[in-house]
Amino acid sequence: MTSSSGSGGGGVVVCLTGTYMPRKEVTVRETVQATVIRPNQAIKLRARKECIDREGNARVTGEEWLVKKTGAYLPGAYEEVVDVVNAYVLTEKACRLTVLKVGCCALFYDFIHNQ
């Protein structure tokens, strides 16, 4: 939702719960629905313009990142949902087969830096 007063195409974004009462000086550009993140899922987001995400990280235009916290996620004004990504569950047997096929000899760490 943006305010039509002012210049330069800037706008005001309002997050509401409940009933919205329209006014003549305001136009609704887009209504955004929350995306539900289930266990073993994440959503891929893209920054529409430079912004600060919910975690306090600075994002540049076009940058993409994952949100893994389960529950409903309502994207910010300058965020767009690109995709819902499902996790691949790896068993110990599958990991050993992958290492044997690739012929890897280096140590690998996950995103929490566990070996």
Query: What band does 30 get if pLDDT is binned at 50, 70 and 90?
Result: confident
pLDDT of 14 > 70? The answer is: no
The CB density around residue 43, as the number of other CB atoms within 10 Å, is: 20
73, 80 contact by CB (below 8 A): no
The CB density around residue 39, as the number of other CB atoms within 10 Å, is: 6
pLDDT of 60 > 90? The answer is: yes
Instruction: Show the domains of the chain with their CATH numbers.
Output: 32-86 (2.30.30.550)
Q: Which H or E element spans position 45?
A: strand 41-47
Distance in angstroms (rounded) separating the CA atoms of residues 84 and 43? 4
The secondary structure of residue 38, as a DSSP letter, is P
